[in-house]
Structure formats: C-alpha cells, structure tokens
Amino acid sequence: MKNINNKISGAEAVIRSLIEENVDLIYGYPGGAIMPIYDELYKFQEKINHVLTRHEQGATHAAQGFSRVSGKVGVVMATSGPGATNLVTGIADAQIDSTPMVCITGQVASHLLGSDAFQETDIIGISTPVTKWNCQVTKAKDIPKILAKAFYIAKSGRPGPVLIDITKDAQFELMDYKYEKCHSVRSYKPVPDYSIEQIKNASKLINEAKKPFIVFGQGVILGDAENEFKDLIEKTGIPSAWTILGLSALPTDHYLNVGMVGMHGNYGPNVLTNECDLLIAIGMRFDDRVTGNLESYAKQAKIIHMEIDPAEIDKNVESDVAVLGNIKDTIPLLSSMVNKNSHKEWLEKFNNFYDIEFKKVINDEINPTKEGLTMAEVIKEINNSTKGDAIIVTDVGQHQMVTCRYAKFNKSKSNVTSGGLGTMGFALPAALGAKMGAPEREVVAVIGDGGYQMTIQELGTIFQTGSAVKIVVLNNNFLGMVRQWQEMFFDKRYASTELVNPDFVTIAKGYYIEAEKVSERKKLKNAVNKMIKSKKPYFLEVTIEKENNVFPMIPTGASVSEIRLE
C-alpha cells in the first residue's frame, strides 16, 4: 500500500525487512490479525516462499528443522490468539535447544489491547519465559528497527527464538521506510571475551592429565567449530563422547568418538565419567539427563568448561577452569598450547567397555535372533542404505534413543531431534524443514507411533510442497518410553500407554504419499532400499516388538556409574 509521498504500510515494511535479512522461506498460517502482512507477502511471492503448514506448531518445528541443517534463522508467522499460542511449544523447544528463530505474530488493533477483544491474547506475557527476546510493535515506524534487532539477537551468541507481535493498526499505518541491519544492542554482549590466562590454565590441566575425557555438545555445531574440535582431539588423543545434540559434530566412526553420554548412552562413557581425572565439557550445559545424580558426578575429576553462555558456567557442575567465548576462537588457541599426546591405555578402557555392551546389548538389538523386528535393526538398514550421509530427524521416545545410539553420521548438522524439551510431534514437520534447508541431502524421519499422531496432519504440507521426506514409523502400539518406565518402576501397570492405532498406510496414501508396511525381517531390507531410492515423499511403517526396552539405562536419580545393561 503506497501513497503519493512514497510511504509504505507497516505490513509492507515487514516483508521488505525480511528480504533485507535474506529471508526467502517462511512457515506459517494466516488469520485475521496478520492478514495485512500476508496480503503484502502475496505481492512478493517471487522473492519469498511461504509454506502453509497445517498447524502453527508444525510451522515452528519446520522452522527449527530448516535452521538446524542450514544454519540460518528460521522464520514463522501466525495470527493472534490461538494462532500465537499454538507457536509456544515450538518456541520453548527452540529456546532450550538454542535454535535461532524469528516468530512474527499479528495482534488486535492497539486501541483494543487489554479489552479481551476477539482473538486477543497477551502473547508477550505468555512467551517471555521461552524466548530470548520479545517485543510488541504498535507503530509502523518501529517495524524495521525492531525486526533488525530481532534477527541480530536470534542468531548472535548463544542462538534462540525471538517473537515480534505487531498490532493490526501498525500493519496498516503508513511510514517512511529505511532499513539498517543491527550489529549491536546496548547492554547485550552475545560473545564474552576469552581469557588467555584461563586457556593457559586449561592447557596445563590437559597436559598433566593421565585420563582426560571430553564431552561435547551442540555448541561445537553452532560455533561452526567441527574442524577445530577434530584437530584438538587428534592432537591430544583424548577420548570424546557426545550429548544427544552434539551427535554428528564428529563422524560416528572416528577412532576417538567413544559414543553417547547420558541416560541411554553408551556403557563406557558413562562409567568412565567417574574414573577420568580431567573432564572437559565443550559446548554443553550439563543437562540432568547427561549427569544423573549430581552428588556423584565426576567428583574425582578436575573440570574444564568451554562455553559461550556465562549463565551455564557453574550452574550445575562447578568448574575448575572456565573458558568463556566462541569455541571457534578458543579451541584453536587451546590446541596451540597443548602437547601432542595419545592415551592408548585409557582409550582401550572405553573400547573394552564397548565390547561388554556389544555382547550384552548391542548384538541382540542389531542382529536379533528373536522373531519380532527391533528398532535397532531398522536403523541398521537405514545406515546401510544411506551410507551415513543422510540427515536423520527423530521424535521423542524409545525410537529417538535407539536412533541416536545406532545411526551413522559422516557429516555435521545431520542429527535433528528435540533434545531439551523432548517434544513429541517434533519430527514430521522438522523433517520437512530439514529437507527444505538441505534439498540436496536425503532426509529420513524416524518416528514412534505416538508422536507421529501429534502432528500427522503435516503430511498435507509435505504433499503440497512435494518435499521428498522419507518417513519411517516404528509401530509398537505403545507409548514406548513411558511403557518402559511403567514396566521397570511401576510394576507393569501400563496406565494409558497402549495405543489402538489407525491404518497408517491408508492415511499416507490419502495424502497421495507412496506407502508400505513391513512386519517381516526378510522384507525389511528391500523396503528400506525402495524408500531411499524414491525421489518423492515416502512412508514406511515397520511393526516392531511390542515390549522391547532400551538399554543401557541410568535410572532417574542414580549415578552415571550405576548404568544398567539389563
């Protein structure tokens, strides 16, 4: 909307500002309070692709998947009231998993604020605890400046989601448009200064250590420091384990990659956490699923914590040396100060524990002799078919833990999952976003039958966009992880966890997606290969053992060294 003075509307200013930030993809769902922005978006279709998801939550998860594999800021739009509140789960997920996202919501006209108008909700108040920053805009002239600030905050330092709420009258109001990218915000310092002295202290501890151990998280990926990290561990010879979000930062088959830490992690990394003399945490936050009982976590070890967010230092685990700053900068400095080393005997201990775990757990999972199919053998076939080059997106539950344990990754940004919030329903829309963020790569969504049905409507978005997402539903007719806990800790009282499922294949075909169901081992390999070779969206349902448990497991409240193999 322009007038003779070349002014533009606030709505057009939103779209022009997005273009200035190099946004070419938006996920969203229109409605009354954001209709002026959508009307302007219609005029800029050649520059910005809008994907109409089937639910606003699906839009946030799709934006997360897009961001996680592309490294760009995910962008979401929704209307006021229920449209805005439907974003909250995805925003909370992005906040705890440090995913940069800008959400733009419409709001009722400013003179109606606080009047309980139709579809009015205080989304600023609601989203404050789960956003890195949020802001309500009531004047068109403020739109460019606020959006520039939003993108800067979302992607700088430790990334996170930002929400901008724009009243309807601000969208219609005319303004003189000028856009300047934001490069700083008063009182906000996204990357703390590093201390050379602390890096020297860290190098001294590493050079003196006999049994050093690294646990690395998503910070390595977010910091684009995969090569620097690999150089460090290869110089020092330090065994390195990953958190669930750190997975794929280091190739799975790297000789110093000793597996996953945490509740369903590998045997050795968990037990030996309480035997190392130096624990080096890089880009991770000592989540409770990683540490188990903090009273008995690595008490014998010196702790080095390398982190971009000062709030994480000493929050859960007290460090002896804290190295603040972007690890893209600090790891090379540390590497230059440490001695070349190898810890062959110490590394061999990890390998010995793996041999024990293989005999007691892994072999029976990936090479089962029992009749029913296991989740692990499905992942094994996906590995064989994709050669470790695929992006694998998981939902939340047993299948997530099994996939993280057994999937092979050669490239970074290949593991997309809901880590901190544990959001069921994440995987299907996130896989769509991942495929759109990396269209040249194979994207496989591995989902449980419970979480799948939380966002199953996004099959419609996949069909409409034609995105060649491969969807694998591991169906055991249970909410599997909850059922496992009920079996182990609640005397097999399976309260509200058994599912009576629909015909998933028929549903997929109803969305014009090719589909197949497999329940026999002899048919699994060909079915997986057929799915991977397809150039279109594809759905594969695999019937798996109904009451299979995921081991190893650290019971809640137990020490990492009390990990159970059965």
- Please tell me which residue in 168, 211, 230, 302 is annotated as part of the active site: 168
Say how far apart CA 398 and CA 392 lie, in whole Å: 15
**Annotated catalytic residue, options 44, 119, 514, 530:** 119
| Neighbour tally for 315: CB within 10 Å | 13
**Residue from 147, 156, 151, 155 nearest 178 by CA:** 147
Please tell me which residue in 21, 56, 226, 541 is annotated as part of the active site.
56
Please pick, among 118, 488, 489, 547, the residue that the annotation labels catalytic: 118
Residue 292's CB is within 10 A of a number of other CB atoms, namely 25
Query: Is 328 noted as a catalytic residue in this protein?
Result: no
Asked about 119 being catalytic, the answer comes back as yes
Residue of 171, 102, 565, 536 whose CA lies nearest to 355: 565
Alpha helices in 407-557 (DSSP H): 427-437, 449-452, 459-465, 480-489, 504-510, 521-533
The residues near 190 (Cβ < 8 Å, ≥ 6 apart) are 153, 156, 157, 158
CA-CA distance, 458 to 428, in Å (whole number)?
7
Q: State the catalytic residue, choosing from 101, 263, 481, 531.
A: 481
Pair 241, 213: CB distance under 8 Å: yes
Q: Residue for token digits 């509740």?
A: 263
- How far apart CA 527 and CA 423 sit, in angstroms, is 28
Burial bucket for residue 268 (CB in 10 Å: 0-12, 13-18, 19+): buried
**Residue 52 burial (C-beta neighbours within 10 Å; 0-12, 13-18, 19+):** middle
| Active-site residue flag, 481 | yes
Q: Decide if 56 is catalytic.
A: yes
Active site residues: 56, 118-119, 168, 481
